[in-house]
């Protein structure tokens, strides 16, 4: 069986790396696992990797790809960020009460934007400065909605969970 490496990903520049593409590459290199078993192994690895990241650890991806983690970032109150969920709930309440909403066309309406007031926020973070692949600025890491939801659930169930994560700018 051929060893599986992440090094081949750099040649697939403009595509999402779906398991079927990775499996095709694996088979071309002499791999003999069934696609079903291959997907199960990828899923188990990804689940365990995300468990480790959500526990405050960093995942070293090897092959010069650097590390994934969750970073705690101080909020910049000079550039307020809209909390769209709360804003939309407030908007719906105001509309149900018959209020006229603020807009460019209606500057006298009720202002309905709600802004985040937390001192920090968390985000999944790929430490690219240590990444050794060419054109690294052309790549990005997007956590799935499911994993973003797991992070939200963690913060709801444990109010001190944020302390597990490194603060940006600190070692």
With the C-alpha atoms ordered 14, 20, 26, 28, is the resulting torsion angle positive or negative? negative
Q: Residue 67: name the closest of 151, 147, 131 by CA.
A: 131
Report H helices in 1-130. Answer: 19-28, 35-54, 84-96
Q: Which pLDDT tens digit goes with each residue over 103-118? A: 999 999 999 999 999 9
Q: pLDDT for 5-52, tens place per residue? A: 444 444 444 456 678 888 999 999 999 999 999 999 999 999 999 999
- At 120, phi and psi to the nearest 5? -150, 170
Q: Which residues contact 13 (CB under 8 A, 6 or more apart)?
A: 135, 138
* 120 Cβ neighbours under 8 A, 6+ residues apart: 72, 73, 74, 75, 162, 167
Query: Residue 64: pLDDT band by 50, 70, 90 thresholds?
Result: confident
CA angle (149, 152, 158) in 5-degree steps: 135
Give me the phi and psi of 83, to 5 degrees please. Answer: -90, 95
Q: Which of 21-35, 56-70, 71-85, 126-140 has the lowest mean pLDDT?
A: 126-140
The percentage of residues in the chain with a pLDDT greater than 90, rounded to a whole number, is: 68
Answer whether residue 125 shows pLDDT above 60.
yes
What is the pLDDT, as a whole number, of residue 16?
A: 63
Average pLDDT of 136-163? Answer: 91
In the chain, domain spans: 7-75+118-167
Q: What whole-number distance in Å separates Cα of residue 115 and Cα of residue 4? A: 46
DSSP state at residue 64: T
């Amino acid at each position: 069986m051929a060893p599986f490496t992440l090094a081949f990903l750099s040649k697939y520049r403009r595509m999402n790396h779906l398991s079927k593409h990775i499996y095709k590459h694996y088979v071309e290199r002499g791999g003999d696992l069934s696609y079903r078993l291959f997907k199960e192994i990828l899923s188990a690895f990804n689940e365990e990797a995300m468990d480790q990241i959500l526990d405050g650890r960093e995942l070293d991806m090897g092959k010069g790809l650097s590390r994934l983690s969750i970073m705690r970032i101080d909020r910049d109150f000079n550039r307020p960020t809209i909390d769209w969920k709360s804003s939309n709930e407030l908007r719906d309440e105001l509309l149900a009460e018959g209020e006229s909403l603020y807009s460019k066309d209606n500057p006298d309406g009720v202002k309905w934007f709600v802004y985040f007031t937390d001192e920090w926020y968390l985000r999944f973070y790929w430490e690219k400065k240590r990444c050794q692949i060419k054109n690294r600025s052309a790549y990005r890491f997007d956590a799935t909605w499911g994993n973003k939801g797991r992070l939200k659930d963690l913060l709801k169930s444990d109010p001190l969970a944020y302390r597990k994560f490194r603060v940006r700018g600190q070692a």
